[in-house]
Amino acid sequence: MIYQGKQKIWSDYQKEIPDDHWYFVRSCIRQNFFPASEKMFSVITKDVLGKDIYETPYHTTCGGIAYHSDTIPQETVMTIVARQFALMTEAGYENYACSCITSFGNYAEILETWHEFPELEAKIREMLWKSCRREFKKPKYLAHTSDLIYKFRHEIASKAKFHLVDHATGEPLRVVEHIGCHYAKMFPHKGVGGAEYPCVLSGMIDSWGGQVIDYPERRHCCGYGFRQYHVKANRGYSVSNTHKKFESMEPYHPDMIITNCPGCPYFLDRWQYVISEMEGKTYGQNGYGIPVFTYEEVAGMVLGFDPWDLGLQLHQVAVEPLLEKIGIPYNPKTKYLGLDGKDIMKPGLPSVLKCC
Amino acid sequence: MKDNIVIVGGGIAGMEAAHQLLLLGYKPILVEKSDHLGGHVADWHKLFPDMSPAKDAVKDLAEKIKEANIFLDTEVSFINRLKNGYNVMFSNGVNVICKAILLATGFDLFEASKKEEYGYGIYDQVMTNSDLEHWFNTGEDKRIKGKDIKKIGFVHCVGSRDIKAGNPQCSKVCCITAIKQAMEVKEFFPDAEVYCFYMDLRLFGKKYEDFYIKAQMESGVHFIRGRVSEVSENINGQVIVKTEDTLSGKPAKITLDLLVLMSGIVCNKQAVDTASLVQVKTDSDGFLKSKDNILNIIETDSKGVFLAGTVTGPKTVPETVAEARAAALAIHNYLVTLK
Amino acid sequence: MDFGFSISPSSTINLDKVDFTLYDRLCEIEPDAKKCMACGSCSATCTAGPWTGMSVRKVILGIQRGKESEAAKMLKGCMLCGKCTMVCPRGINTRHLILSLCRIYGEGEK
């Protein structure tokens, strides 16, 4: 591969991301799947980097899951989003950062639709006023939280205690990056690096010492697909997509996967268990799987936070082999102890996939 | 003393027009911006459908125009309209007062890197049709030299018939060129499998259909109707091509050792600037505008300015040569009426 | 463990894995099979086509894409009337092609 060719395309799709004063909204399902990720984002940006990130307890879901699962019409989604923007306006911010990729796609789509159809925007303003007496201004900049971590990646790298290298041999780790479909595939110019070769995660990996792997199915969807998973009869389609990705990345022997979407890491992680039970095949070394992380967890790891404070115990695929490889110290005894040392019980172990 | 005629462009159109004007007794001035005559044809290997060597064609023409005034490495800096002619200033400082100008500036090849999904300039084993012709001529290309090439693919319509690439028209000659190159490359690698991914096969010319039959029967070229959607690279450096097989209605996937993109013909940007100096505009398809697209392609709306060759649109070599001869005759008739 | 769903196979034709032995054997007996340009004149005139789904074009395409069992099934619907041979613009003897294919399939069964 000619690296300069990819660099040139990335440079064609650059996105303006302001430095400070962001209004932050959380994701509905991320709290359950990756408990510490959104907290880590706040900790890193506020405490470590000293930025102004504002969050209000009154914000709601963006309605993206329901909209993409075809259960609510577009006007409902637009009114929910309008209320979110109203809360942002009341707090006095104009930069909007959302934690979920589907949200990002949803907000981007709604802002584009209002741009093309101003009469629809006027109608939504009226509906918001009628339903909850709020008014809103459209955000000036919309970014995903991974865009912000991408922007501050060099500062994080300078404060990092660990790097994405094998501490025994000094070799950079082989990292697969997976970007949620709604990030750049809908509106290529809204993502850093465009749709074919988005560089938001590969930029982070490069500055934190890892080596990005380019494999044939790199841009393939993980298969979550809302209705493809939520309706049980369709789940075969979802797992087939992830299976295709793993079959394609296997010859490259990756050490870890980093993603920036709520659904993708969940499914890339859990489907490894399902595939191991169905086909008896695992993709990591020695019968383990390939650990999957969100970018906040990786940022927390390189900055030296305790792995169990990052919520890594909730991952299906064991992360301990990777922690040992990087040289991050961890205490196996405290893995299943919650806050105040309370025992939160151990999960059962799968039959094929090796877990700790 | 015969009048001066300036021919802008030393490709085969300009050269053939100069030849005809020499036979008619004029001494045309030929100006070419590169350091050699022959334009794009000089870089090619064999010309369809008879597979005659391109170098010989260019050499013959160059022999025939030895008596003309040829300026190489020279461009047109400025053109001033006079009462009955033009004052042309060249970049080497020479000024010429002429009665007629022939624009034979040719075409540009579409930049294949603009189609990001095909991976030109990103993946190692992807090249264009002009890179392949260069390899036929010189044997030097790190994508082919010393490599074990067992499977080769040709992608038709790269940058042509594509509104997203800014080029809605068909480049006319790429289909026959793809088949010609497929057969040539099969001669170099007789055990290889060759695939052509096409939308339509436009084989309009003399003996082109026989060429197609020969490619199928003798070279065993596989033709797959469908667009290539994405090119990616596997761990061995081979390219994985994903395409739609429209005839069976299913997507298809294949691993290839070499992928050749058929870059299309687009208008020469510099020519548009030069043409604007004499108030010749571009037509709706981006090429230069003639007086009449059916009966008078070689004349323009500007008096004394003539067009020949691919400057008005994609053309084959015999068509370009024919237009050049027509332009020479038209210039001669125009100069006679001026007297 | 039964999850209630399973991994579905991909419908993509993997041209790397297509076995060309049957196609090569056909081209030895009837070399004109390579001339087919998939114009569909044969399917258009096929007497049996509207009722049995028989189409010489689809048979040749199936063999080229490794879908041999489907091609064999389609061949059973041919009535050997010869209309396709009459109209083929490339001059392929489609009747001979069909009979050769049946013979090759018969060889395989032995």
Report whether A212 contacts A205 (CB < 8 A): yes
pLDDT at A5 over 80: no
- A118 and A183 assigned to the same domain: no
CATH of the domain at A91: 1.20.1050.140
Q: What's the whole-model pTM score?
A: 0.88
- Does A330 map to a domain? yes
Report CB contact under 8 Å: A277, C1. yes
- A89 and A193 assigned to the same domain: no
**pLDDT grade for A14, boundaries at 50, 70 and 90:** confident
- Does A103 map to a domain? yes
Report CB contact under 8 Å: C38, B247. yes
Structure tokens that stand for A275 in this block = 């595939």
pLDDT at B4 over 50: yes
- A86 and A24 assigned to the same domain: yes
pLDDT at C57 over 60: yes
CB nearest A9 (choices: B116, B124, B240) = B116
CB nearest B250 (choices: C12, C37, C90) = C12
pLDDT at A10 over 80: no
pLDDT of residue C108: 61
**pLDDT grade for A348, boundaries at 50, 70 and 90:** confident
Domain boundary among A119, A145, A171: A145
Report CB contact under 8 Å: B217, C61. no
- A124 and A198 assigned to the same domain: no
- Does C63 map to a domain? yes
B248 touches chain C (CB under 8 A): yes
Q: Distance from B198 to chain A by nearest Cα, in Å?
A: 23
- A180 and A222 assigned to the same domain: yes
- Does A155 map to a domain? no
- Does A6 map to a domain? no
Quote the mean pLDDT of chain A: 90
The CB density around residue C89, as the number of other CB atoms within 10 Å, is 10
Number of domains observed in the structure of chain C: 1
- Does C45 map to a domain? yes
pLDDT digits (tens, 9 = 90+) for B103-123: 999 999 999 988 888 989 989
A253 touches chain B (CB under 8 A): no
- Does A8 map to a domain? no
CATH of the domain at C91: 1.10.1060.10
- Does A203 map to a domain? yes
- A171 and A96 assigned to the same domain: no
pLDDT of residue A188: 83
B249 touches chain C (CB under 8 A): no
Mean of pLDDT values over B211-221: 94
Neighbours of chain C (3+ CB pairs under 8 A): A, B
Neighbours of chain B (3+ CB pairs under 8 A): A, C
E-strand ranges in chain A read 22-25, 53-54, 95-98, 141-144, 174-178, 211-212, 256-259, 292-294
CB nearest C8 (choices: A240, A277, A279) = A240
ipTM at complex level: 0.91
pLDDT at B339 over 80: no
Q: Distance from C15 to chain B by nearest Cα, in Å?
A: 5
Report CB contact under 8 Å: C3, A237. no
- Does C28 map to a domain? yes
Residues of A engaging C, defined by a Cβ cutoff of 8 Å: 232-237, 239-240, 243-244, 274-275, 277-279, 351
- A223 and A256 assigned to the same domain: yes
Nearest CA in chain A to B126: A1
pLDDT at C110 over 80: no
- Does A134 map to a domain? yes
- Does C100 map to a domain? yes
- Does C10 map to a domain? no
Nearest CA in chain B to C16: B254
Mark out the alpha helices in C1-110 (DSSP H runs): 21-29, 41-45, 49-52, 56-64, 68-75, 83-87, 94-109
Domain boundary among A145, A178, A201: A145
- Does C2 map to a domain? no
- A81 and A141 assigned to the same domain: yes
- A180 and A311 assigned to the same domain: yes
pLDDT of residue B18: 96
Number of domains observed in the structure of chain A: 2
pLDDT of residue B1: 57
pLDDT of residue A324: 93
- The domains found in chain B, sorted by start residue, are 5-106+268-338 (3.50.50.60), 112-265 (3.50.50.60)
- Does C14 map to a domain? no
Q: In which domain, by residue range, is A25 found? A: 20-145
Q: Distance from C1 to chain A by nearest Cα, in Å?
A: 7
- Does C3 map to a domain? no
Mean of pLDDT values over A81-103: 93
Give the amino acid at A184: A
Question: Exposed, middle or buried: residue B190 (CB in 10 Å: 0-12, 13-18, 19+)?
Answer: exposed
pLDDT of residue B210: 93
pLDDT digits (tens, 9 = 90+) for A107-130: 999 999 999 999 999 999 999 999
- A117 and A210 assigned to the same domain: no
Report CB contact under 8 Å: B116, A2. no
Report whether A303 contacts A48 (CB < 8 A): yes
Interface of B with A in 194-223 (CB under 8 A): none
pLDDT of residue C109: 57
Quote the mean pLDDT of chain B: 93
Q: Distance from B231 to chain A by nearest Cα, in Å?
A: 8
- A53 and A127 assigned to the same domain: yes
The whole-angstrom separation of Cα B177 and Cα B197 is: 13
- Does A102 map to a domain? yes
B53 closest CA partner among B61, B44, B62, B64: B44
- A166 and A82 assigned to the same domain: no
Percent of chain B with pLDDT over 70: 100
Domain boundary among A85, A116, A145: A145
CATH of the domain at A245: 3.40.50.11810
pLDDT digits (tens, 9 = 90+) for B107-165: 999 999 888 889 899 899 999 999 999 999 999 898 898 888 999 999 999 999 999 88
Query: Can you state the angle between helices A74-91 and A118-132, rounded to 10 degrees?
Result: 70
